[in-house]
Amino acid sequence: MDENDLNSDDEIAIDDDCYYDFFIKGDDPMDSEDAKSREGSGQKYTILNQADIRKRQEDVIAAISTVLSVSGATATILLRHFNWSVGKVHEAWFADEDVVRKRVGLLNYEKQLSDVNAGDRATCGICFDVYPRYRIFSVGCGHPFCRECWGGYISSAINDGPGCLTLRCPDVSCSAAADRDIIDMLALSDDDKKKYSQYLLRSYVEESKQIKWCPGPDCEYAVEFDAGGGGDDSWDVSCRCSYSFCWNCLEDSHRPVDCQTVSSWLSKNTDESETKIWILARTKPCPRCQKSIEKNGGCMHMTCNPPCRYEFCWICLGDWYNHETCNRYNEAADVEADKNREDAEKHVTKYTHYFDRWAANHSSRQKAIAEMQRVQSVQIRKLIETQGKAEYELLFITDAWEQIIGCRQVLKWTYAYGYYLPENEHTKRRLFEFLQGEAETGLERLHECAELELNQFLVDYGSPLEGFKEFEVKLKGLTMVTRKYFEKLVRALENGLSEVQVSGTEEIGQNFPMASAEG
């Protein structure tokens, strides 16, 4: 079976050298324990687990500690203040060390308890109990506090959240920083120490401009992105947790639309203004109480809900009992009301068209993800038994499902693209709808084949069922053809449908097939 057997009578020409890593399945990029960026294959990001992040964090702390001849705890405070930027720390420190120390609360630790009354005992500044000197602690400012009060203060700050990373002396008038060494020494429990350590780790990612946490459910990986790493302009990332997202805006992967379009579309889906437009298009206000009323019957005699109960005519909104006829034409009032209602109805109809298809493809993708998991866990094993195949010989089935999932995601976002495509660019819209239609048709053929035609081979008849080879050839062919359709669609939309040139108000199509499907 060749590609023409799988297409409609028409054909789209696709450049064979087009590459989209979002659609083309490759080897597992993270098959080793340490994170690696696949720069050789065009990948511009590195997946980091918590051990990778902690090692990077400790490396920069050690580097600052060595260069500035300060403790690791002091280096941590400096890096935290300058958003973990080694360059900024160096620049500020060597410009004026005293200013930096004062700004971050680094005092001279040799002054510890220098202001405490002489003797073997001292008074805690919180509980005011007198303790032996060895049970009194300070962070360099000389303000004395006992171990128990320090522990409670630290525990309270840690339980309040990441703000504990900028913890200061318990004395309200003092700005001396409480560093990591103090936390490790005086925290009440190991759990508090672990929480503090985790806050510190997360700050390294959250204050970085190059690293972001994967937004996948319960995912603990981070992604470092090299925006200058070459390749295409895509921000798409596939995490080790199997979640794909846009690194720039942290929404789901949304090629071929840009982040601004995604933001506008998602805002529109939750915007109260859309509800108001629907109300304007489908309802009328009660003339007395102004509540919106939707007509649900055929008669024009309307009665508002209690307690209003005003009775009026649906057509002219006049009082029903003083109403004889409303067939006289009032041009000014009627034209304006009809135009407003017509515009609102057009807006609602257009939005509903694109939203319904966007949501349907989103739902279909979620079901495809669940189906692929079932294929991998149940159906592949069943096929090994019924068809006598090795597992590697059945990879074409999971390849097809991965193609379906990726294409559903792209198709979903092309409907947001179509919604914002200017109405006056008619030729671009025709090209867009042509490419989208071809891709959608191909995807439906592939999805149907993968979902329905496989079932006949899952039944154990005692021997392999004839026709499995033909099914394999068909599914592989549909997978390839669908990928090419979507590659062409993505390339066209990301290039702004550049095949169409605009000259003044007239659009000129370049080699655009209006009657046939040749690309």
Active site residues: 299
Q: Which amino acid is at 433?
A: E
Asked if 208 contacts 80 with a C-beta cutoff of 8 angstroms, the reply is no
In angstroms, the CA 443 to CA 326 distance is 53
Number of Cα atoms under 13 Å in the Cβ half of residue 353 = 11
What's the sign of the alpha-carbon dihedral 310, 314, 318, 319?
Answer: negative
Amino acid at 34: D
Percent helix / strand / coil, the chain, rounded to 5: 50, 10, 40
Phi, psi of 120 (to 5 degrees): -90, -5
The answer to whether 493 and 432 have CB atoms below 8 angstroms apart is yes
Residues 6+ positions from 344 with CB-CB distance below 8 Å = 277, 278, 280, 281
Residues with Cβ < 8 Å from 517, sequence gap 6 or more?
A: 8, 10, 11, 12, 434, 438
Alpha-carbon torsion angle 503, 506, 512, 517, nearest 10: 160
